[in-house]
Amino acid sequence: MKPELVIIEFLQVAALLGLAPAFAGWVKMLKCWSQGRTSPGLLQPYRDLAKLLSKDVVLAENASWIFRFTPYLVFGTAVLAGGIIPILSIDLPLAPTADVIVIVALFAIARFFTALAGMDIGTAFGGMGSSREMMIASLAEPAMLMAIFTVSLANRSTSLSQIVQVIYSGQSVIRPSLAFAFLAFVLIALAETGRIPVDNPATHLELTMVHEAMILEYSGRHLALVEWAGMMKLFLFVALGIASFAPWGIAARGSFSALPGALVYMALKLGLVGTVIVLVETGLAKMRLFRLPEFLGAAFLLSTLGMLSYFILD
């Protein structure tokens, strides 16, 4: 294992840790602009995290070790996933640890523990958030798997580095199957990261919360870890989409010379995606919980059409 590859790995994880709050801040800034409000600034998430890290932790009397362990686990899985998805370079030593299915499963274990933490304290809000979150997750999984299936059909692999390499090797064709899979992935990403129209990340009304309800009881450094992991999850889902569908700009070889270019491309793409997210969030309203099967059913339909059109049209 060459030492420069290890350094690239560290640089990528550091970029993830450092830039995920900035991405969240960018999305928040654009949202405020589009709604005619003054934004708190790009660096506000950093200030929030610093504030939370320095505060005391307040725990309910009957919080168990699961409640205290979950923030660390959620943070850990997000960092591990960040070390595997090619963001800056394909040549990561951790890349063969996991393929796309394993990355989805890493997010699943984080969600499992967060749902348990929601049930731990014994209030109605936590249970409600856990129940809704598990329902949304179970409906999103088939659609996600079909999208992965379609992408793996076109690229003959489920390993992300391999997918990027196949796309680079010049087999870029206008494939309707990949277009369908991409649309399905967008819908699923909105569901998994908890954005409008599935869940409102900025709500303060408990009856409209899904993800927020599960982490309602956290405070201090635990809340800092959970919030940071949430920002990283959004960042990573966008990176996953970029790597699977539009990876141009990611460094192909493990050399330092290609990295600054990769960083610039990444920033540009993230900026663009942030704008799209804000357009979607501002243009749509949050859906009623029991309309979500239609939403996720549409995602499943799109990904199935992608898979079918691969066989029918290609």
Partner 1 sequence: MGLNIAAQISSFLAALVLLSAFGMLVQKRINGLINLFAWQGLFLSINTALVGYFAGKHHLYISSLLTLSLKVVLLPYILHVLVDRLKIRKEVESVVNIPTTMLIGIALVIFSYHLMAPVRELSTLITRSTLAIALATVMIGLLMMITRKHAVTQIIGFLALENGLFFAATSATYGMPLVVELGVALDVLIAAFIFGIFFFHINTAFDSLDVEQMARLKEED
Partner 2 sequence: MNLTPVDIAGSSVLLLFLMVFVAAVLRNSQRLLITLSFSLASVASLLAVAAGIWTVSGGITSRVVLLMGLPDLPFHLNLDPLAGFFLTVVGLLSFYVSVYSIGYIRGYLGQRPVTSLIIFYALFVAGMFMVVLADDALFFLVSWEIMAAASYFLVIFENEHIENRRAAFLYMVVAHVGAIAILLSFGVMAGLAGGFGSFNSYTFDAMRQAQLPIEWATAAFLLAFLGFAAKAGVVPLHVWLPEAHPVAPSNVSALMSGVMLKTAIYGIIRVTFDLIRDFPWWWGAFVLVLGLISAVMGVLYALMQHDLKRLLAYHSVENIGIILIGIGLAMIFRSFEMPLLAALALIAGLYHTMNHAMFKGLLFMGAGAVLHATKERNMEEMGGLIHHMPWTAALFLIGCISISALPPFNGFVSEWLTFQAFLLSPALPSPLIRLLIPMGAALLALTGALAAACFVKAFGVTFLGHWRGHHKPHIHEANWPMRLGMIFAAFTCLCLGVFPTLFIEWMDIIPTQLVGSKLAASAGAYGWMWLTPVSYERASYSGSIVFAGILVVVLAAYLLLHVRPGKIQRVPIWDCGFEKINSRMQYNATSFSMPIRRIFGHLFSIKETVTVTPLAGHAAFPKRLHYYLRVRDRFWGWIYRPIVELSFWVSRRVGRLQQGRIQAYLIYSFLTIIVLLVFLR
Among partner 2, partner 1, none, partner that 179 touches (CB below 5 to 8 angstroms by kind): partner 1
Site for partner 2 in 8-37 (CB under 8 A): none
DSSP state of 288: P
In this complex, which beta carbon is closest to partner 2, that of residue 74 or of residue 190? 74
Residue 61, classified by CB atoms within 10 Å of its CB into exposed (0-12), middle (13-18) or buried (19+), is exposed
Q: At CA 224, angle to CA 219 and CA 225, rounded to 5?
A: 115
Does position 179 interact with partner 2 (CB under 8 A)? The reply is no
Does position 6 interact with partner 2 (CB under 8 A)? The reply is no
Does position 203 interact with partner 2 (CB under 8 A)? The reply is no
Does position 289 interact with partner 1 (CB under 8 A)? The reply is no
Q: Pick one of 5, 22, 153, 287: the residue that binds partner 2 (CB under 8 A).
A: 153
267: nearest Cα among 233, 298, 235: 235
Output the CA torsion sign for 82, 42, 201, 271: negative
Phi-psi label, residue 110: left if phi above 0, alpha if psi -120 to 50, beta otherwise: alpha
Give the whole-angstrom CA distance, residue 209 versus residue 154: 38
Site for partner 2 in 93-152 (CB under 8 A): 94, 96-99, 101-102, 105-106, 108-109, 111-112, 115-116, 119-124, 126-128, 130-132, 134-135, 137-146, 149, 152
Does position 272 interact with partner 2 (CB under 8 A)? The reply is no
Q: Pick one of 23, 26, 75, 185: the residue that binds partner 2 (CB under 8 A).
A: 75
Give the whole-angstrom CA distance, residue 101 versus residue 163: 13
Does position 314 interact with partner 1 (CB under 8 A)? The reply is yes
Note the Cα 47 to chain centre separation in Å.
Answer: 22
Among partner 1, partner 2, none, partner that 221 touches (CB below 5 to 8 angstroms by kind): partner 2
